[in-house]
Structures are given as structure tokens and as C-alpha cells.
Chain A
């Protein structure tokens, strides 16, 4: 069991500078996140909009510079790399993006788009370029006849397959999937998920899967991290683990089962995710939490690292 990724105390603060008519404001998009990603595993990050999950993905890939903390890929610290070293390393850690519609340059043919990784890294494919294009398109279940098409001639699902082919062209070991199916139809979402499962088995990939859809994360992942307002509030060691954090419990209750026999009267949690700017001290969930006590409003609960099922809560379930 080796760690593909070790993330320690990763934080990102964004500040909006003030002016004559408003105060400067700061928000912690990602706040003190630490976790290990074991090689070959699929870890899911789930949370609602504004919880910082997409920022976390970009911090890990160093597409955004963190304010604090470290990321190690195969034991080597990414923040210590020079820009040139970092560019070379990117071949090993790739990302599939949420919006397939704008993820390919509209002026590029599909063949040129999937060969661009080789151009960028100054590498040559093992065979001829045509063979490599065929191989990559076949790998993601696309007809190689599409090689000379332009992105606007493809459907959303086909574009997402091209995005996956581009990400896999250089045979990375880590793939960060940022809501790869959120803008696709259900029937196409299932195709893409099934393709990702198969690729993981064939190529021995490690996935970090980011999604707002708890059922999908439960289906696809080995372990799940739940984020709320920039912090990981709970790390479920397996997908059937019962929630210990009240927020996770709410999220599970709010997720509908696709079966009329499992219909239940849900007592939904009132309120909504508050603004991430200038949060009060204590647990960020305290205001909506049915179990909140005085301590929750004063002391920020810390995610235990010793536990096999870590939770950041003063009164876990």
C-alpha cells in the first residue's frame, strides 16, 4: 500500500481587496485539508456548491498556488518544484473537466487535440501519429473515423470521451475527475462512468472523483470525503459506512432513492449553506445543526487523523 498522493494542511484563502466603499473580505475556499490517496483507490469528494471541492482539485494539481500546506505525489513535494519540473510532472497527473463543451479548443480537430499532450511534452508516440490517435480513440470507445472532426460536430458525451483520451494520452497514474458527468444526460453519464471504471482496471489508475451527487460517489468510489465550507467534515472509510457527522447524515437523507417503494417522508434540514466570507468561529455547520451546543460555536472541531472513520464534530452521531 503506497500513497499516490499525500495532502497536508492544504489551504487557500482568497481575498477581495477593499475600496473606499467596502471592506476587504477574505474567504477560506479550502481550509486545512489533509488526506492520503492510496495507489489504485478511488476517493470521492462530495459537497454542495461553494464547499471548495473544485478549488481543492486545482490546488492538488497546482493549477492554483495554495496559501498553505503541501501536496506530495509519489512522495515528492510538488511545491518544491521549479516551473519546468512542474510542467514535466503534469504528464503523470491529469484532470477531466466538468464542462466538455469548452474543454477542447474549437479550432482543433479531434486528432490534433488528442496528440497535443505529446507536442506539449516534446514526446513521440510509440507508433505513428495516426496509430496513436486510433489507439486513444478506441481506448475511450470513440470511432477513429471522428479523428478529423471538430468539437462542435460532437455530442457532449463524445466530447467528454475526447477529454478523457487527452488526459490519458501520456499515461498518467493519477486522474482528478472534476464532476466529469455533471453536464451530461443520465444515459450518457452512465456510459462515461462505466468507461472510467474500465480504464481504471485496464490501466491501474488512481482517481480523485469530485461530485455533488452522493449516490454517484457511493457507487463509484472506495472511500468518501465530505466537504462543507472549505473543510473536510468526515472521511467515510467505505461507501456503506453510516454517517457520523450531522451534515453527512443530512446529505444522505436529502439524496433521493430511485425507487417509489423506498419513498420516505424526509424532514429536510432548514437553511442553506451560508456565505463563505468571514465565517464566525467554531463549527461552520453549527447554525444549521440540530445537535449544536455552546462549544460548537466557539471551537472549530478538528478532523481526527488517528481514527479509522475520522469526523470533525464535537457531538458525532
Chain B
């Protein structure tokens, strides 16, 4: 595992600094850093308790002291959007991390060993590939019940196929390189080939696609939340907030607009920064080829 972590570190040192080289990359990256810090320090920076109801003050428009207004229960929208970042980001990031790890293991094993195992894995992957992500997640949540944990696993499973497929494609391409044959001819064990050569060389595109998928994961989390299948009240999540805001869409649009804007801006920032990373790493072809 040391070589994998060093590969990720290497990725951070060179490519991330290059991705920050353009002004687009700097804006998107800066926003993402700010967002992560906000999510981490949410309990200390929210102006009001996100769960405290104040029914007398319900549906207050943006102004002072509630900068983004309040919802029907009089809860502060700004505090809930900030706290929602914590929920949305952590659910999506955890889910994608699981998805990337499992997908890399499956894809690497399929690509390296081939044969029946590869065919079995790729058949399942192709099958799940043909359903929309949201459908797979919905089916999964329907089976094990709503909640943040099941949302996390649902998102992880929805994106599993993508990372399995991408990793396998990288491994298969690398297996044909002369340096792999040369290392086998030095007497290297399969574990050495896989851990010291194949995975470190395959990891960059997978990590970048994973980073892009965090944006999609946020949307999926919001969608599940919107259906009431994600975070349960009173925990705020962007999707759940929008869902509860639909009833007062015309009366108090700010309840639904601000979490919606948060989702949109975050996803745009993730995609812009991801594109800059792809450019910096020069891996566009390798991602497309998957």
C-alpha cells in the first residue's frame, strides 16, 4: 500500500499544483478548499442552531439576522446550507472512496488475472452499466431502508462499475508494456508486478475520475434526499432541504433556491477542477479509452 499512497502523494505534488496554474483552476480549487473547510468547521461557524425551530419566525425572507431567510419551521437557512455541506460532502466522498477502492481491486484483479474471473466481473459491470445510477441507488435503498448509511452504500454501488471498468482498462493496457515483461523476466512475483508497477501507473486516471464522481455523488445524494430516502430530519442535507421546500415553493422560494445553488456551484467547481487535473496529468486519452 505504500506505493499507492506515494503515488497519490506524487499526484498531489506535481499535478495539483499544475491544475492550480490556470485562473479557472485557481477559482474552482479555491472554492473547493473553502467548501471543505466550511464543512469541517460547520458546528463552529453556523450563526444559529440548524435544528432550532422558531415557529413564530417561519418563512422569513432573507435579511437580518437570518441572511438567507428561514424555512417553514423558522430554522435558519444559512446554517442549514452550511451544515448540509457537511452531510452532502461526507456522504459523497465516503461513498466514492468505497467505490474507488473496491472498483480498483475488482478491476485490477480482472485485468491482471483475466479468464473466467474477468468475464464474470465484466458481465456484472456491463449489466449495472446499462441501468441509470439513480435506479441502482433507489433499488438498494429500497432494500435496506432509508438513512445516511444506506445512501452512502447506494452511491458507492451506483458508481462501482465505472471504476472497475476504468481500472481494468488501465491494467490491460499496461500489461502489454515492455517494462512489465522485463520485470517478469527479472523473476518478479505477480504481487510485485501488480503493486509496484501496474497499480501505481493506473492510479492517476482513476483518482481523477473519482474526484469528478464526487460531484455526481453530491447530486445523487441530493436526489435521494429529495425523495426523503437520505438524511432523516432534523439532519440537514441539500436534497432534503429542497424537498421540504417544495411545499412553499412560491411562498418562500429561498428555502429551495439556496441549497440548489449550493449543489450547482459545488458540482461545477468539482468538474472544472477535475478538467484542469486531467489536463495537468495529460491523461485525457486514458480516461476516454476506458
Contacts and interface: CB of A to CB of B under 8 A. Distances in A.
Q: Answer yes or no: A and B touching, Cβ < 8 Å.
A: yes
Interface of A: 61, 63, 86-91, 94-95, 97-99, 102-107, 116-117, 119-121, 163, 166, 170
Nearest to A91: B187
B201 A166 contact: no
A107 B201 contact: yes
Contacts of A170: 186
Given A105-B197, A107-B7, A107-B200, A121 B182 contact: no
A120 B187 contact: yes
B182 A87 contact: no
Given A106-B201, A107-B7, A87 B188 contact: yes
A103 B182 CA distance: 7
A102 B186 contact: no
Nearest to B185: A95
B184 to A, nearest CB: 7
A121 B189 CA distance: 9
B189 A87 contact: yes
A99 B179 CA distance: 10
Contact of B179 (A87, A95, A102): A102
Contacts of B7: 107
B126 interface: no
Contacts of B185: 61, 63, 90, 94-95
Interface of B: 7, 10, 177-179, 181-189, 192, 197, 200-201
A63 B184 contact: yes
Nearest to A93: B185
Contacts of B178: 97-99, 102-103
Q: Which of B179, B183, B184, B188 has the most CB of A within 10 A?
A: B179
Nearest to A83: B189
Contacts of A166: 182, 186
Contacts of B181: 63, 97
Nearest to B176: A102
A84 B177 CA distance: 23
Contact of B186 (A90, A99, A107): A90
In the A-B complex, list the 10 residue pairs whose CB atoms are closest, starting with the nearest.
A90-B187, A87-B187, A102-B178, A103-B178, A120-B188, A120-B186, A105-B179, A97-B178, A117-B186, A102-B177
Nearest to B204: A107
Contacts of A99: 178
Q: Which of A94, A120, A166 has the most CB of B within 10 A?
A: A120
A241 B201 CA distance: 49
6 contacts: A61-B185, A107-B201, A120-B183, A120-B186, A120-B187, A120-B188
Nearest to A121: B187
A123 to B, nearest CB: 10
A163 B201 contact: no
Given A105-B201, A121-B187, 20 more contacts: A87-B187, A91-B187, A94-B186, A95-B182, A97-B178, A102-B177, A102-B179, A103-B178, A105-B179, A105-B183, A107-B200, A107-B201, A116-B186, A117-B186, A120-B186, A120-B187, A120-B188, A121-B186, A163-B182, A166-B186
Contacts of A97: 178, 181-182
Nearest to A84: B189
A109 B238 CA distance: 47
Contacts of A102: 177-179
A63 B175 CA distance: 13
A98 B178 CA distance: 9
Contacts of A104: 179, 182
A121 B183 CA distance: 11
B182 A120 contact: no
A262 B226 CA distance: 86
A163 B181 CA distance: 12
Q: Which of A91, A97, A116, A166 has the most CB of B within 10 A?
A: A116
Contacts of A103: 178-179, 182
A104 B197 CA distance: 10
Contacts of A119: 192
B249 to A, nearest CB: 53
Contacts of A86: 187
Nearest to A169: B186
B188 to A, nearest CB: 4
Contacts of B192: 119-120
Nearest to B10: A107
Contacts of A117: 186
B179 A88 contact: no
A61 B186 CA distance: 11
B12 to A, nearest CB: 15
B58 to A, nearest CB: 58
Contacts of B182: 95, 97, 103-104, 163, 166
A294 to B, nearest CB: 44
Q: Which of A63, A102, A107 has the most CB of B within 10 A?
A: A107
B277 to A, nearest CB: 18
Nearest to A100: B178
Contacts of B197: 105
Contacts of B201: 105-107
B185 to A, nearest CB: 5
A63 B183 CA distance: 11
A163 to B, nearest CB: 7
A181 to B, nearest CB: 15
A301 B255 CA distance: 89
A48 B187 CA distance: 30
A107 B177 CA distance: 13
A55 to B, nearest CB: 13
A71 to B, nearest CB: 14
